[in-house]
């Protein structure tokens, strides 16, 4: 994972462990979503953001890490949306943070 549970809990200002298992699932979902948007595996980041070996969490650019945190926050805050008549839209700020890191966009 490129963000830890403790980072997410700090970001969301959560000081209990009641939601830890849900948050772990949201982290995985957010990272998969970001990877799909970027057309790359987040585990492929290397030093300086290049796709070579190294510690993935240290090499992933901060805007990408922050977008994951924002998506986890959206998933957490809107966890009842599947049961209600609420539409979730992609956060334009996340798109702005991620777009410079997209690859293989095609024509």
pLDDT score for 72: 94
CB 1 within 8 Å of CB 28: yes
CB 61 within 8 Å of CB 34: no
- Count the Cβ atoms, other than its own, within 10 Å of residue 29: 14
Is the entire prediction scored with pTM above 0.85?
no
74: closest CA among 21, 33, 17, 20? 33
Chain centroid to Cα 99, Å, comes to 13
- Cβ contacts of 49-52, under 8 Å, gap ≥ 24: 49/101
Q: How does pLDDT run along the chain (107 residues), one tens digit per residue? A: 899 999 999 999 999 999 999 999 999 999 999 999 999 888 877 554 545 455 544 478 999 999 999 999 999 988 876 555 555 567 899 999 999 999 988 76
Structure tokens at 52: 């070579």
How far apart CA 97 and CA 55 sit, in angstroms, is 21
């Amino acid at each position: 994972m490129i963000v830890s549970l403790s980072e997410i809990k700090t970001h969301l200002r959560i000081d209990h462990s009641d939601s830890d298992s849900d948050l772990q699932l949201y982290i995985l979902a957010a990272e998969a979503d970001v990877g799909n948007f970027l057309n790359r595996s987040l585990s492929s980041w290397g030093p300086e953001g290049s796709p070579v070996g190294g510690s993935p969490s240290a090499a992933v650019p901060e805007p990408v890490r922050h977008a994951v945190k924002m998506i986890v926050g959206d998933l957490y805050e809107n966890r009842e949306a599947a049961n209600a008549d609420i539409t979730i839209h992609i956060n334009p700020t996340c798109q702005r943070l991620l777009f410079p890191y997209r690859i293989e966009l095609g024509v």
